[in-house]
Structure 1
């Protein structure tokens, strides 16, 4: 951990061979993300070559995941270097790795809703209902189970399903609702007749919460800080481009969803999904202590995680500085 988070990237004690490796970069960097609108910066960064243009001779390899726990396992197993992931699984990765997975950037704020059958008009009416989330322990699973615990809704059935299966299950009447990220929440509303019972934005100060963030294996960050900076420069440029070219950004993401998930979104769904998210490099670090507490309330974990050392924004802030943008605050989560 001291090596991963405490040392200067230009430490004069670094061995010459290590310095040469940092300068040259790895042969390959492996990143993971989901085929979701809430991972739009990753999709755009890959499809518009923002990452590859920054990486130079380093090859970019990508892997797609349906939910955070799967991606965490890939990071812990060493088959992935950098991951776009939900805030809940990001905390879980830090915990399971004993501090060797770290938060390095934000990607998307907002874009998650609890949607239900139209006849359900209040949270109290969830009693006895079957509500889906994408995966056990993922960000939306924690949010739903926290709500259930706070409202003492002990007889709510929580079903974990892949997002496409959730849509089919809702259409067939097997589900009463779901807590989902975009575009799936909008798909249930516009394609299957559900309604938004609760937008997660209403639960957070200023309507901002970290839906998608970026984490990295600390070993990779320590060994190849310049490569991580290159990825983050591409990430910043992807977000800036998407904000300046909204229509083309939507088209790019929709085409990628066709390639990765097998189908495109209707224009109303695409517009609705993009309207509910904010693309941002700020991971809103100040929210993470509360998110750690939420996992306990949701009975996903027994104890509140000590997040000291979770955030290392050195690479991000160098990348932001290079593009003339202000630094991001770690909110006390640094080493």
Structure 2
């Protein structure tokens, strides 16, 4: 994998030189390329997509007859709607919108085909609340306001479950608040804490002196919980299984390369974030955030099933208990990775 990445730049340079030469078949007719429509977020927890699309490795693996068309999203529900509309074939997304999309389509429109990132969320709090928690324990959260990124999203569901499990439902206020607004409210001391994904949790720590009270990984079996996985449109899976396998091979390769080359991976991911958003993460934020999640193709299925159950109990999935039996289609991942997830 490392050698492939090192060779990739000259390969892409040569591709630019010959891009004016259109491919033709034996009858000298232009070859129509198969388009793969891919969605992802400009976020460090979508590292494989950022790096593999940014440096061209996905394109190299898929081949010259494939055109990768990308769409960048800032919210999971909009990515799911795009998948419903046939505008996304493969997407990198969090568990909550994927489960919602699966249920909304009666289990027909999508499947999870791989894991991508585990961990990557924390409860960060005001320094005085952190100190109080060391003395009083969970009681310190009474009469406090804790923010989550969005009502019903993955971190919101985790926060609500944590509050319920500790009998704080009537004593602690949950305030769904956009990640960027959390920085402002934290500075004004209008919130006492936030259950936030990376890099926002680390930004709160670096920029407004928050303290990390809970790394969510510590609340889960084997310190593993899904924060990003790979989904695919079921029509695309059925019609193009060979392309699904090729994509997953590249996804596995990139995952291994990221873990072997974390410094270079961080640099490429941050450069891509800057291209997509015009703003890169400060190095001190990126370095802390990167340590808070694990890059892995393990889908951590049990954590997603648990998120689904919690979301149902919290009233986000309707009146019928969700059946997530067919949420996963991992046969191509298992074949490609030569393991059983």
How high is the TM-score relative to the length of structure 1? 0.84
Deviations 1:47-78 (A, max 9, x none): 12121112222211222222322222222232
Task: Tell me if 1:151 matches 2:158.
Answer: no
Q: Which moved more, 1:170-179 or 1:110-119?
A: 170-179
Backbone CA RMSD of aligned residues: 2.0
Task: Tell me if 1:242 matches 2:258.
Answer: yes
Task: Tell me if 1:113 matches 2:122.
Answer: yes
Q: Distance in 2 between matches of 1:80 and 1:279?
A: 23
> Which residues of structure 1 form unaligned runs of 5+?
1-23, 321-325, 330-335
Per-residue deviation, 1:105? 0.2
Task: Tell me if 1:133 matches 2:148.
Answer: yes
Over 3 Å counting, the alpha-carbon distance change for 1:71 and 1:136 in structure 2 is farther
Per-residue deviation, 1:112? 0.6
Q: Among 8, 19, 28, which residue is 2:35 paired with? A: 28
Q: Which moved more, 1:105-114 or 1:304-313?
A: 304-313
Which residue number in structure 2 is paired with residue 327 of structure 1?
A: 339
Q: Distance in 2 between matches of 1:136 and 1:74?
A: 21
Per-residue deviation, 1:81? 1.5
Task: Tell me if 1:72 matches 2:80.
Answer: yes
Runs of 4+ residues deviating >6 angstroms: none
How many residues end up aligned between the 2 structures?
A: 301
Which residue number in structure 1 is paired with residue 16 of structure 2?
A: none
Per-residue deviation, 1:26? 6.7
> Which residues of structure 2 form unaligned runs of 5+?
1-30
Judge conservation of contact 2:154–2:307 (CA < 8 Å) in 1: no
Classify the secondary structure of the residue corresponding to 1:119: helix
Per-residue deviation, 1:183? 0.9
Which residue number in structure 1 is paired with residue 4 of structure 2?
A: none
Q: Among 239, 243, 266, which residue is 1:227 paired with? A: 243
Deviations 1:230-288 (A, max 9, x none): 22111111111111211110101111222223322222211111111111111012333
Q: Which moved more, 1:115-124 or 1:89-98?
A: 115-124
Q: Distance in 1 between matches of 2:245 and 2:179?
A: 32
Per-residue deviation, 1:222? 0.4
Judge conservation of contact 1:25–1:58 (CA < 8 Å) in 2: no
Q: Distance in 2 between matches of 1:67 and 1:171?
A: 25
Judge conservation of contact 1:124–1:151 (CA < 8 Å) in 2: no
Over 3 Å counting, the alpha-carbon distance change for 1:244 and 1:155 in structure 2 is same
Judge conservation of contact 1:114–1:196 (CA < 8 Å) in 2: yes
How high is the TM-score relative to the length of structure 2? 0.82
Over 3 Å counting, the alpha-carbon distance change for 1:157 and 1:53 in structure 2 is same
Which residue number in structure 2 is paired with residue 283 of structure 1?
A: 299
Per-residue deviation, 1:127? 3.2
Q: Distance in 2 between matches of 1:123 and 1:71?
A: 36
